[in-house]
Structure 1
Amino acid sequence: MNALEVTRLETRKTMVELIGLGKTFHNKQNQVKALEDINLSIYEGEIFGIIGLSGAGKSTLVRCINLLEMPSAGSVIFDGTDIVTLKQKELLKVRQSMGMIFQQFNLLMQRTALQNICFPLEIAGISKKEAKQRALELLDIVGLSEKANAYPAQLSGGQKQRIAIARALATNPKVLLCDEATSALDPTTTRSILSLLKEINQRTNITVIVITHEMSVIEEICNRVAIIDQSRIAEVGEVEEVFAKPKSKIARQLVFSGAGHIESFTGRHKLRIIFDGRTSFEPVIANMVLECKAPVNILFADTKDIDGKAFGQMIIQLPDDEVSRKKIYAYLQTNKIKNEEVESHVE
């Protein structure tokens, strides 16, 4: 996000503002501070991420935004109104402007997809005819028009979450709260759900607040991110800035988690990759590693870019695992990338 985009963002209307927010849970033995002095401004139309490790307080935070949990201290300003001060009847009306989706979907198992989407509209007093029309529109938006009469047990995880998203959008909310909405889904389905959320945000300008423990989700969809650590906000900023220059210890831990890092690489087999005019913009090695799901170690590289074409050579060390090596050989052959084995003493 460049400086102009940041300026435009900051001149937008503030949709959610948390001021000195705190939440303490009490029991007979002791008290636990789940949130302490949380201060955040979330703008209209942005996709804002809140990330932290397990137990950091992020799920409590999202439940305080719509007052499913009543804060022990501070204010929750929603669309200009401190909703902490509202009476129950007024609060129920405000909650119609806040949709929420959950990790486990929370669909009503005895209702069809269409009936699940109609449910919040029924509570809001909308006529059955209008509710059905709105539900059918939303089924089309989430790409499941053909599943109108299917029950949750007949749907995949991704389809259930799409129905849950449609249900959350039924009352035309101003804010969509997503509490670990993709944690129960596989990576491919996760990407499709995140793409859908981004599309809905762009189409309707709805403010989306994403609660997650996965940096990949933040990177994929969010404009800005707040990192919560031990009940407090450790860092807030544009996603690109936080990823490039994390300031807090917890941000560095989340960004550079070490997951999948290889401390040392051993392999007796070496391969020379020959570049003889392929486009310089093709990430040959990166694509090979991603496709084959096998790491390699670059021992030597001497390549040049000439008019957008790559020339030269690279020597890589292959893993000892035979299956992984065969995948790499097959990938290179299929993509017509010139290569040759080299003796183990060559580096």
Structure 2
Amino acid sequence: MTDVMSDVMSDVLIVGSGPTGLTLACDLARRGVPVRVLDQRPGPHRESRGKSLNRDGLDAMADLGVLGRIAEVGRELVLRKYFDGAQVEDTRLTDVLFMGQWQIEEVLREHLASFGVRVEHGARVTGIEQDREGVTARLADGGSIRAGYLAGCDGGRSTTRGLLGIAFEGTTEETGTMVLGDVTAPDLSRDVWHQWFTSDGGAMMLCPIPGTAVFQLQASPETDADGNPVPPTLEGFQRLFDRHARMEGIRLAGAAWLSTWRVNVRMAARMREGRVFLAGDAAHVHSVAGGLGMNTGIQDAMALGRTLGAALTGEAGARVLDGYEAERLPAAARVLADASERHRRVLAAVREPGRGTEAGMG
């Protein structure tokens, strides 16, 4: 059963309630633009996923008026680096706050609710039709929603992009290069982001999610006899931890959000189709190095909020709409190139004792 509200015309319909969609919704709502937010999930998740806000992301949170709440939740971290089991270096990161993606979304949902808007969960869009007056989104339950504009903020596997037939150009590696999950490690210090690297090129990282008992785990995958990556499991995580960390007595537990990450560098051929726009991972995906993904999506959302706000509430009218793609498509291309270069730097750096993921920062 969904919690989709009755069919009432809104100026903007947002598909997807991750950080990009929620940022856009908050920005439009504060401008007085009627907005609705749909998400196909049955409810909010509690997965760590993207886990940091850089200066650009923090500036956006300040602009929206939620930086105080974000600062209460997030924290700066020290990267503690180990090599072949030995602790070799600590590096403090500044101008970056770490927290789980679900915690950022929670702050933004609360802020959005202060404008009388709530996310409508269990709503899956199956069709998009548009005309000179607006956009109609067809839903899986047989209903429909009419809006002036639609924003697809629905991730790398974007239904919106697929329904529009917009090409997602680029490359994806066939095999997974990293396994991820949320785990607990009761006897491990939560004061630092632990990063273990080995001389054979392997890696295991455990980043504490503030205010919880959870660490986000990232590691080189196990492989089978044929050299193929093995799907992530708690038992596999423990074997990887024992191999790389070499810390007796630490037992991982409570594994959730088990995932495999592949190097995926793609960009939408365009970010606008008439009255429909793409933002965030729906428009571009790239390496995780430097933590640029969520922050770039938030920047997309702020730019789209300014554009739609100007078109709907200002004197500029619809002629400003082309400005969004003109600004953000080149920005996405730069981020893809930048993230790929950061990824190369990190891969080289972690083979040297005392260096870690900070090689991809800055």
Instruction: Give the alignment's TM-score, normalised by structure 1.
Output: 0.25
Bigger RCO (CA 8 Å, 6+ sep): 2
